[in-house]
Amino acid sequence: MKDHVFDAIVIGSGISGGWAAKELCEKGLKTLVLERGRNVEHKRDYPTMLSAPWEMPHRNHVPLSDKIENPVVNRCYAYKEDTQHFFVKDKDHPYIQDKPFDWVRGYQVGGKSLIWARQTQRWSKYDFEAPGRDGFAVDWPIRYEDIAPWYSYVEKFVGISGNYDGVETLPDGEFLPAWEMNCVEKVIRDRILESYKDRHVMIGRCAHLTEPADHHLKMGRGQCMARNQCYRGCPFGAYFSSNSATLPAAAATGNLTVRPDAVVHSIIYDDAKEKVTGVRIVDAESKEVLEYFAKVIFLNASALNSNLILLNSTSNRFPNGLGNDNGLLGKYVAFHNYRGNISASFDGYEDKYYFGRRPTAVMMPNFRNVKKQEMDFLRGYMTFFTAGRGGWGGAREIPFGPDFKEKNSEPGPWHVFMMMQGETIPKESGQVALSLDQKDEWGIPLLRVSVDYDGNDEKILKDFFEQGSEMLEIAGCKNIRANDTQQAPGLDIHEMGGVRMGRDPQTSLLNGWNQMHQAKNVFVTDGACMTSTGTQNPSITYMALTARAVDYAVKALKVGEV
Beta pairing, strands 381-389 & 331-334? unpaired
> 201: closest CA among 431, 2, 474?
474
Q: What is the dihedral angle through the alpha carbons of 457, 460, 465, 469, rounded to the nearest 10 degrees?
A: -160
Question: Where are the alpha helices (H) located in 313-454, listed in sequence order?
Answer: 402-408
Identify the band that residue 398 occupies on the pLDDT scale cut at 50, 70 and 90. Answer: confident
pLDDT at 402: 87
Give me the amino acid identity at 79. Y
DSSP three-state, residue 510? strand
> 155: closest CA among 167, 145, 147, 166?
147
DSSP three-state, residue 487? coil
Cα 32 from chain centre: 23
Identify the band that residue 466 occupies on the pLDDT scale cut at 50, 70 and 90. Answer: very high
The CB density around residue 444, as the number of other CB atoms within 10 Å, is 18
Name residue 388's beta-bridge partners.
415
pLDDT at 439: 98
> 388: closest CA among 188, 172, 113, 118?
188
Cα separation of 283 and 443, whole Å? Answer: 11
- Per the prediction, the chain carries an average pLDDT of 97
Q: Looking at the predicted structure, is the pLDDT value of residue 394 above 70?
A: no
Q: What is the mean pLDDT of residues 461-490?
A: 98
Cα separation of 192 and 476, whole Å? Answer: 10
Q: What is the mean pLDDT of residues 330-335?
A: 98
Cα separation of 194 and 209, whole Å? Answer: 32
- Over its C-alpha atoms, the chain yields an Rg (Å, rounded) of 23
Q: What is the helix (H) or strand (E) element at residue 177, kind and residue range?
A: none
Cα separation of 249 and 73, whole Å? Answer: 31
Cα 362 from chain centre: 19
DSSP three-state, residue 158? helix
Give me the amino acid identity at 525. T
pLDDT at 407: 76
pLDDT at 408: 77
Q: Architecture of 2-140+241-332+494-558 per CATH?
A: 3-Layer(bba) Sandwich (3.50)
Cα separation of 207 and 210, whole Å? Answer: 9
DSSP three-state, residue 31? strand
pLDDT at 392: 60
Residue 129 near residue 216 (C-beta atoms within 8 A): no
Cα separation of 256 and 8, whole Å? Answer: 10
DSSP calls for 77-96? TT-STTTGGGS--TTTS--E
Cα separation of 521 and 322, whole Å? Answer: 12
Cα 275 from chain centre: 31
Cα separation of 320 and 317, whole Å? Answer: 9
Cα separation of 439 and 442, whole Å? Answer: 8
Q: What is the helix (H) or strand (E) element at residue 482, kind and residue range?
A: strand 478-484
Please, what's the b/e burial string for 452-478 (b: 16 or more CB within 10 A of its CB; e: otherwise)? bbeebbeebbebbbebbbebbeebebe
Identify the band that residue 58 occupies on the pLDDT scale cut at 50, 70 and 90. Answer: very high
Q: Looking at the predicted structure, is the pLDDT value of residue 353 above 60?
A: yes
Q: Looking at the predicted structure, is the pLDDT value of residue 393 above 70?
A: no
Give me the amino acid identity at 109. V
Residue 372 near residue 357 (C-beta atoms within 8 A): no
Rounded to 5 degrees, what angle do the CA atoms 232, 536, 107 make? 35
Q: What is the mean pLDDT of residues 480-503?
A: 98
Cα separation of 254 and 18, whole Å? Answer: 15
Q: What whole-number percentage of the chain has pLDDT above 90?
A: 95
Please, what's the b/e burial string for 100-139 (b: 16 or more CB within 10 A of its CB; e: otherwise)? ebbbbbbbbbbbbbbbbbbbbbbbbebbbebbbeeebbbb
DSSP calls for 269-312? EETTTTEEEEEEEEETTT--EEEEE-SEEEE-S-HHHHHHHHHT
Identify the band that residue 386 occupies on the pLDDT scale cut at 50, 70 and 90. Answer: very high
> 208: closest CA among 122, 118, 123, 111?
118
Q: Looking at the predicted structure, is the pLDDT value of residue 358 above 60?
A: yes
Identify the band that residue 340 occupies on the pLDDT scale cut at 50, 70 and 90. Answer: very high
Q: What is the pTM of this model?
A: 0.97
Identify the band that residue 548 occupies on the pLDDT scale cut at 50, 70 and 90. Answer: very high
| CA distances from residue 365 to 204, 329, 362 in whole angstroms, order as listed | 10, 31, 10
Identify the band that residue 391 occupies on the pLDDT scale cut at 50, 70 and 90. Answer: low
Q: What is the mean pLDDT of residues 8-35?
A: 98
Q: What is the mean pLDDT of residues 406-415?
A: 85
Q: What is the mean pLDDT of residues 241-266?
A: 98
Q: Looking at the predicted structure, is the pLDDT value of residue 45 above 60?
A: yes
Give me the amino acid identity at 335. F
Report which DSSP code applies to 552. Answer: H
Give me the amino acid identity at 156. K
- Measured over the CA atoms of residue 434, residue 436, residue 439 and residue 444, the dihedral's sign is positive
Cα 401 from chain centre: 46
Q: Looking at the predicted structure, is the pLDDT value of residue 399 above 90?
A: no
**Is pLDDT larger for residue 411 or for residue 380?**
380
| CA distances from residue 411 to 19, 48, 95, 234, 343 in whole angstroms, order as listed | 43, 28, 44, 28, 18
